[in-house]
Structures are given as structure tokens and as C-alpha cells.
Amino acid sequence: MSRQESLHANRVRALAFGGVAAEYDRSRPSYPKALIDTLMEWAPRTVLDVGCGTGKASRLLVDRGCDVLGVEPDAQMAAVARDHGVRVEEGTFEEWDPRRRTFDLVTSGQAWHWVDPTAGVAKAASVLPAGGHLAVFWNHGCLDARTVEALDPVYERFAPSLTRPSAELRPESEAHDAHVEGLAGSDHFGAVEARAFPWEAAYDRGQWLGFMATQSDHVLLPAAQRAALLEAVGDVIDELGGRLLYHFSTLLLAATRVA
């Protein structure tokens, strides 16, 4: 079993976000305007947002005039999205019933790695007409070397099993080459285009701890261990001057449905 496959099969981790849905909505980053501009070049009217979560990507598309439907397996995440005015149907994408509906664009922001790689590609193709697009994207990022050097010992002490903060948004299981291969190897889609959109965000102590508290591996830690880890991380941020600069790069993988 590949890392990608093992991740989508880990339903405990995949559904770990519901208990922190409100914090997720507050603390998780959005997506850069340049990414949405690129999606709008296809002039989509109807969009299916797979694993829509609290509706972060969905709302950006609604603001551009798209008719967006989200699919989300976690009821608490879906409830937050609905509070923001997003239409959501609950369930995993693999089991969701499209009821003969089709869409101009299928998106998935920060969620495609939770979808079965074979079934997901086929399901997306089934709701797209020829010429329609599948666009999946992730926020990657890194901290500067000084910050990493300060934070790594904290993780070694309090949670040695977790991903290091230098790779916090690059979990090993997000094997993007595998996602490209899955799309490129499908008879349903043409060439896969990969594009990166760089941007930056500054975080104070509270903002960074909220961000980390919504990472699935952090969520699944025992409460006392998680609290001790985050307190120690916060102390490092204070020692570094109270703010961190995170260098994001949003990766877009896009493919066009062929006849």
C-alpha cells in the first residue's frame, strides 16, 4: 500500500477535523487570488468542491459568481460551510450520489489526498463533460531556517512522532507525483498541468498555535501532550520576537476531461 493510499484509508485521521471545525475555519489559510483567477479562466458556471471543509475555497468561487456545491464527509465541517452560505451535501466523494448532475469544474482544496486515488479520478470524470476541468490544490509552506532550528527540538521533546514544523504543510503522504500519475494515467483526462502560486503570511503566537492545533496529526495527540507541545511552541515564538513568517506555495494540479 502506497503512502497516498494509506492516508485516504486512514478515516480516523481524515475525520479528525470536525472536533476543531470552528478553529479550522478561523486559523487555516485561504488561497491566493492568482489561483482563483486561473480557475476563472475556464469560465466555470457550476462547480463541485470535493472535501469542501468549512468552505474556504467554495466561498472564493461563490464570490466570483459560480454556483458551487460542496461535498464533505464531516458533519461539523459541513455545518460551518453552510453557516457561510455554501450548499453542502454530506458524505465521502466516493459514495456521494451525483444524481445525474454534471459540473463545469471539480475542485478540491487541501483534501484530494483523503480521496481514494483511483475511485476519485473516475468519479470526477463522471460528473464532468468533455472539456470540463478537475483542479486539485494544496497550500505548501516552509519556515525560515532560524525558526526551524528553534522549533525542531521542541517537537523532538514533546511529540517526536510528528512531522517537523519545517515540513508542516508537506506531509510525506501527500505524494504529489502520485497524484499527477493518477490523473495522467487515466483515460478520462488529458495532460496534467502543475502550477505554483507563491505568497507569504505572518503569524503571531495565537494565530500559529491555532493553525497547528488544526493539523490532523496534532489533533490526534492526547490532550495533555498537545497542550504541552503547543505551549512550548508558543514560548519559542515569543523568544523569536512574537511573530513567524510562513512562505507559502499553493500547488495546483489541473486536468481537462477528454471525450
Do residues 226 and 213 lie in contact, with contact meaning Cβ atoms separated by under 8 Å?
yes
- State how far Cα 7 lies from the chain centre: 13
Residue 27 has which C-alpha cell? 486559523
The phi, psi pair for 174, rounded to 5°, reads -85, 75
- Name the DSSP letter for residue 31: -
Percent of the chain with pLDDT over 90: 72
Rounded Cα distance between 176 and 182, Å, is 10
Q: Does position 177 have pLDDT exceeding 90, yes or no?
A: no
How does pLDDT run across 86-107, given as a tens digit for each residue? 999 999 999 999 999 999 999 9
Rounded Cα distance between 78 and 23, Å, is 14
Domain boundaries, the chain: 3-257
* Bridge partner residues of 256 (DSSP): 133
Four-point Cα dihedral 176, 64, 142, 10, nearest 10:
-50
Do residues 159 and 213 lie in contact, with contact meaning Cβ atoms separated by under 8 Å?
no
Q: Which amino acid is at 69?
A: L
> Residues of 79-99 as b/e, b for ≥16 C-beta within 10 angstroms?
bbbeeeebebeeebbeebeee
Q: What is the mean pLDDT of residues 152-162?
A: 92
Distances from the Cα of 183 to the Cα of 119, 124, 203, angstroms = 11, 10, 35
Question: Could you say which of 3.40.50.150, 3.40.109.40, 2.40.30.40, 2.102.10.10 is the CATH number of the domain covering 3-257?
Answer: 3.40.50.150
- Name the DSSP letter for residue 111: -
How does pLDDT run across 49-58, given as a tens digit for each residue? 999 999 999 9
Q: How high does pLDDT run on average in the chain?
A: 88
Q: Which amino acid is at 37?
A: D
Percent of the chain with pLDDT over 70: 87
How does pLDDT run across 186-208, given as a tens digit for each residue? 889 998 999 999 999 999 999 99
